Amino acid sequence: MTIKEKLIPKFLRKYVFYYREHGFKKTVKKFGWKLFAIIFLYYLIRDSILYIIIPYFVLKGIF
């Protein structure tokens, strides 16, 4: 397993490997739009923590 593959969250790996082998259209047909909703929510939560919540607590602690 390469470093690039280790950076992919475990719950998304099977979808990423399927996408690489079969392409976008077949991935959408097999897993549906629910997969893209899950990916969107994952990154929304992750980025909210990184860019909003952590800086808020850092600034609150400093001031």
What's the pLDDT score for residue 11? Answer: 84
How large a percentage of the chain has pLDDT more than 90? Answer: 30
Residue 44 lies in a domain: yes
- Domain annotation covers residue 2: no
pLDDT at residue 24 tops 80? yes
**Is the C-alpha dihedral spanning 48, 16, 9, 36 positive or negative?**
positive
Q: For residue 55, is it within any domain?
A: yes
Q: Domain range for residue 54?
A: 15-62
The band of 63, judged by pLDDT with boundaries at 50, 70 and 90, is low
| Number of domains observed in the structure of the chain | 1
Q: CA-CA distance, 63 to 28, in Å (whole number)? A: 48
pTM of the model as a whole: 0.60
